[in-house]
Amino acid sequence: MSSKPPKKTQTREGFKTNEYIVYPAHGVGKIIAIEEQEIAGAKLELFVITFEKDKMTLRVPTSKIANVGMRKLSESDYVGKALETLTGRARIKRTMWSRRAQEYEAKINSGDLGSIAEVVRDLYRSDTQPEQSYSERQLYESALDRMAREIAAVRGCTETEAIQEIEKMLAKGPRRGARTEAEAEEADGDNQEEAA
């Protein structure tokens, strides 16, 4: 008989070590360990999650994962739906930028791939479109990064390949090029109506 203890895969709350997960506030991370710590006399079981790109490690009590919204990676078909979202028409509300920015930030931090895809779609600008403001660009890049990381983890490809796929889908969307004369006239007509 060997004196080695049996090797066990650590699993808690449906999550296991060496599994990629999505933590809403930080995106895709990897559970590298499940450890116990004693804090104020109480034993606490923690997921140790590393976010390699951000060079950050997080310790989350196993009992709190539902509260923080930690989830498994999206299924492959949901990734497909999120990518399909990118080909749709951008939906930009006519509210003040500060309110829209808060809504975009909330969608990004929801951790939901479909909501993040909506932000990417709505803030995307092709080369022929007007330049984005600094804050728009920051939100767009944050959403793009979150989306690419999850797609890369689900599909087992690099983030660069995931970004290329996202950009390919965005290019298929309506009105990604220069506005046609009819659209320009329609927009001018809308502006005149608002001024009246």
| pLDDT recorded at residue 9 | 52
Shared domain check, 60 and 123: no
Q: Is the pLDDT of residue 7 over 80?
A: no
Domain tally for the chain?
2
Q: Is the pLDDT of residue 11 over 80?
A: no
DSSP-derived letter for residue 63 is G
Domain that holds residue 39: 12-72
Cβ atoms within 10 Å, residue 187: 11
In this prediction, residue 149 has a pLDDT band, given cuts at 50, 70 and 90, of very high
Please report where in the chains the tokens 């804090």 appear, as a residue: 39
| CATH number of residue 68's parent domain | 2.40.10.170
DSSP code per residue over 135-187: HHHHHHHHHHHHHHHHHHHHHT--HHHHHHHHHHHHHTSTT-SSPPHHHHHHH
DSSP code per residue over 117-139: HHHHHHH---TTSPPPPHHHHHH
The model's pLDDT over 88-121, given as tens digits with 9 standing for 90+, comes to: 998 888 889 999 999 999 999 999 999 999 999 9
Shared domain check, 161 and 108: yes
Has residue 189 been placed in a domain?
no
- Of 8 and 33, the one with more pLDDT: 33
Shared domain check, 125 and 159: yes
Residue 43 burial class via C-beta count within 10 angstroms: exposed 0-12, middle 13-18, buried 19 and up: exposed
The model's pLDDT over 69-81, given as tens digits with 9 standing for 90+, comes to: 899 999 999 999 9
Has residue 3 been placed in a domain?
no
Mean pLDDT for all residues in the chain: 83
In this prediction, residue 175 has a pLDDT band, given cuts at 50, 70 and 90, of low
Has residue 176 been placed in a domain?
no
Query: What pTM was estimated for this model as a whole?
Result: 0.78
